[in-house]
Every structure is written in structure tokens, then in C-alpha cells.
Amino acid sequence: MNHTRTGLALMCWMVTACGGLPQPEVARNKPPASTATPPGAPEPDAPESGAPDPAPPSSMRLVAVTDATDFALRPRVVHDDEIIVPLPSERAHLARVEVGLLVTRRDTGEIMDQQKKVFSWDTQGPALHFHLPPLPGGDYLAEVRTNSTMLARTGEIVTQVQLPDEAQISVHSDREVHVPHASEFRYHFKLHHALGDSPELAHDRSEDADSDLRIMELFTKLHNNDVLKITLDCWASSDGEAEYNMQVSIKRCQWVRSHILSKALDSLPVTNIIEAAHGEDNPPEPEPAGVTGHALQEIQRRNRVVILKVYTSN
């Protein structure tokens, strides 16, 4: 049966793609990950049955097409401020799909929007919808990531197979929107040896030397200004396996939010807090090809960091 062959193929793909268990963030030389090239010029969007009237041409739309078998994403820009993820018509073999969107400004790396949605085999409607906030004039990178849980059959046994995938697309806006003032706070971390360990700040840099003083600086910034949003960008160095480093960056985000940001907020009602863990992808300081030894270790040390930014109207 076709379902059997599809299930076997998915499981074989996962065994090949997943490899061994993630290793700690241990020292080893590794060339930097290549940056995915955004897709080319957008293609015209096919009309959808029951779709609303087209939005004005001054706005934009991002479409991530999800294939029912391999979930390869092929996003393209069309005509309004909405992101649509079309859902496959045949969903009996889907248990759950998580879709995440992250929009960043290309010139500054500022996080502009972050959204997550989930659908399962019984989700109604032909697509998931994401609505973008107004974006100031400039160029942006939109990243769409999915983690799909598929039901695969081998003989009489039904198992769940996970298929992660991601795609990137360039977005341009000509809007005239007030650009808020950004204040940046960096927190560097020691090498993370095991996933069960708690993150530790590296106190060998002057800006990390007195955490209480830094919390007070952040407190002053938050309580004396009109705060529009707060962003947390979190990285690990390129030591170790990519999946392990993603988990390390997630733990560092959680640590800064719990041990620093929550103390500085001190019940201040700020709801627009955007948190993004990047693992070893697109680090603050790129690792040039051919750099090894002490020079590489110094770059990696600087990339074990959480960058907290406070955006204010003044």
C-alpha cells in the first residue's frame, strides 16, 4: 500500500538524517554553517477557493507552501500583511505540525515578529494564517520552521516520525513608521559541558563582572522609559552538534529571562517580550573560513551570548 511505502521511506529518512545523540559544546574546529540563500523572485499566488478579496498592492503577504509528504517549504511574497501556510488536503497520516515564524531586520538583526501555531489532522480549513505587524521601511528576513509528527506504519506497528524543516524568504517594506530607540545588554556565558547543567555567566569580561549592577542598569532603563518591546536573542558557540547547541541557547534564554529580566522588570507590565534561540546559526560574530586555534576560540567565546534589547519610544 502507498501508506506503507511512505511510512518506510519516512523512517529510513529519519534514521539517515538524525545520526547519533547530540554532543556537548566541546572544543572542536568546525567551519561556520552556510547561510541559506533566500528564494528568488516571487511567483504569482494561485487563487484559493473562498479566499477574501486581494489586499491593497501597497502591502505584502508571505506564503509557505507545505507538501503533505515531505513538508518542504516554498515561500513567496504576494500582496498583503498575512502569512499563509496551506494545509495538505490528506491529513490522516499527520498527528501534529508546529509552525514557527521569525521576522528579523537584515541591517540590524532586530526581531520584528515571532509567532507559533499548531495544527493536526482534524484542523478545519485549507490554511493557517499569520498576520504581520506594520514593518518600518527596509529589508527583512522571514524564517518559517515546521516540526511535523507523522504516523508511519511498519507491518502492524504504527510509530510516530518527526520531520523538521525550515525555509527563508526576503521581505521588503516601504512603510514610513517611527523607528524606536534600542538599548542593548549582552550577557556572555561559560562553556556548557552537559545539557543538564545550569548556564553560568562568564565573569572574565568587564560588562559581565557585576550582575547586580547590570540588573540595576536594566531596571533603570525599563522603569524610566516608555517600553515598546523587549527582545532576547540567544546563541551557543559552534562547538559541538547543532541540535545540542540549539538546546543550550534555549536554556540561556530561559536563564536570562528568569534571573535577570524578571528581576529588572519587578512587576512592570511589559507584555511584548520576544525570545529567539538561534543555536549556532547566524552568530553575532561570524567565524571566517580558515580561522583556527586561539583566534577561533576567542570568536566562539564571544558567541556564547544572550543579547537583550529594550526598545523605547524615546
Residues 6+ apart with CB under 8 A from 295: none
**Tally of domains in the chain:** 2
Choose the final residue of a domain: 122, 157, 177.
Answer: 177
pLDDT tens for each residue of the chain, 314 residues long: 444 333 333 333 333 333 333 344 544 444 444 434 344 433 333 334 444 443 333 334 445 444 445 556 666 666 557 777 777 777 777 788 888 889 998 988 888 888 888 887 777 777 777 878 888 888 888 888 888 888 877 777 878 888 888 888 888 888 876 778 899 999 999 999 898 999 999 876 555 557 788 899 999 999 999 999 999 999 999 888 989 999 999 999 999 999 999 999 998 988 889 999 999 988 999 888 888 999 999 999 999 999 999 999 87
Q: Containing domain of residue 97, as a range?
A: 53-177
Three-class secondary structure assignment of 17-54? HHCCCCCCCCCCCCCCCCCCCCCCCCCCCCCCCCCCCC
Cα separation, 3 vs 10, whole angstroms: 10
- What pLDDT does residue 59 have? 36
DSSP code per residue over 272-306: -EEEEEEETSS-SS---TT--HHHHHHHHHHTSEE
Cα separation, 67 vs 214, whole angstroms: 47
- What pLDDT does residue 173 have? 85
Examine the domain organization and report whether 163 and 129 are in the same domain.
yes
Choose the final residue of a domain: 136, 157, 177.
Answer: 177
Examine the domain organization and report whether 238 and 259 are in the same domain.
yes
The CATH number that applies at residue 269 is 3.30.1330.60
The sign one gets for the Cα dihedral 24, 25, 31, 34 is positive
Cα separation, 263 vs 257, whole angstroms: 9
Instruction: Say what the pTM is.
Output: 0.54
Examine the domain organization and report whether 59 and 153 are in the same domain.
yes
Cα separation, 137 vs 176, whole angstroms: 6
Examine the domain organization and report whether 126 and 204 are in the same domain.
no
- What pLDDT does residue 71 have? 57
Q: Give the phi and the psi of residue 45 in degrees, each rounded to 5.
A: -80, 135
Examine the domain organization and report whether 145 and 210 are in the same domain.
no
Examine the domain organization and report whether 150 and 206 are in the same domain.
no
Examine the domain organization and report whether 148 and 193 are in the same domain.
no
- What pLDDT does residue 70 have? 56
Summarize the chain as % helix, strand, coil (round to 5).
Answer: 20, 35, 45
Examine the domain organization and report whether 161 and 85 are in the same domain.
yes
- What pLDDT does residue 57 have? 32
Nearest in space to 18 (alpha carbons), one of 242, 240, 235: 242
304: in domain: yes
Examine the domain organization and report whether 142 and 264 are in the same domain.
no
43: in domain: no
- The residue type at 9: A
- What pLDDT does residue 232 have? 95
| CB-neighbour burial class of residue 217 (10 A; exposed 0-12, middle 13-18, buried 19+) | middle
37: in domain: no
Cell of 158: 504504527
41: in domain: no
